[in-house]
Amino acid sequence: MSDMHPRPDETSTDPAAQPSQPVQPVQPSQPAPPPPAAEPGYPPPAPQPGGETVPYAGGPKPMTAQEERTTGMAAHGVALGATVLSGGALGFVVALVMYLVFRDRGPFVRHHSANALNVQIIAGIVMLISIPLMFVLIGFVTFAAAWLFAVIVHIIGAVKANNGEWWNPPMTPNFVK
C-alpha cells in the first residue's frame, strides 16, 4: 500500500505510531421520560368535586394503622431514652424532631408525638425552675421529680400508643396540639 495510514488489520504497539482518530461529536441523548405522578394503587386517588380523581401528588405518604402505632410508641420511647441517657437535657430535642418529622403522617402519630413533646416541655420548665432552687436544696428534689415524671409518663405513653389507645398525659398542658 502506498498511503501513509496502516491497514485496519495492521496494528502497532507504539502509541506515537497510531494515527489519531477524529473525534465524533456527541449527540444529545433523548430526554428521559418524566416519572409517573404516583405509584399505581397507592394510595387510591382522592375523589374530587365533580367526579374526577386526583392521584397522590407527593408529600409524606400516609401510614397504616400499625405503622402509626409503632411510630407513636417510638415517639415516647426515643424521648424516654434521650431523657434517661442525658439526665433530661436532650429529651426535648428528640421529641421535637419526632414531632416535626411525623406530624403530617397521620392523626394518631401526630397525637402521640405531640404528647411526647408536651411532656418534655413541662418537664423542661420544671427542671429549669429547679436549677436556681438548688441553692436552697429543694431544687434537687424538684429536678428529680420532673425527671421521674417524664420517665413514667413516657413509659405509659409508649404502652398506650402500642395498644392503639388515644391518651393524654396527666398534669400536662397541651402546648402543642
Per residue in 34-90, pLDDT tens?
555 544 444 555 555 555 544 445 567 778 888 888 989 999 999 999 989 888 788
The C-alpha atoms of residue 172 and residue 157 are separated, in whole angstroms, by 12
pLDDT score of 24: 60
Three-class SS state of 123: helix
The C-alpha atoms of residue 139 and residue 148 are separated, in whole angstroms, by 14
Q: Which of 110, 13, 121 is nearest to 71 (CA)?
A: 110
The average pLDDT across 148-153 equals 93
Region for 79 from its dihedrals, namely left if φ exceeds 0, alpha if ψ lies in -120 to 50, beta otherwise: alpha
pLDDT score of 49: 58
pLDDT score of 41: 47
Specify the amino acid at residue 45: P
Provide the whole-model pTM: 0.64
* pLDDT above 90: percentage of residues in the chain: 39
pLDDT score of 53: 46
The residue extents of the domains of the chain are 65-162
The residue assigned the cell 392503639 is: 164
Tell me the pLDDT tens digit for each residue of 83-126.
Answer: 898 887 888 899 899 999 988 888 899 999 999 999 999 999 99
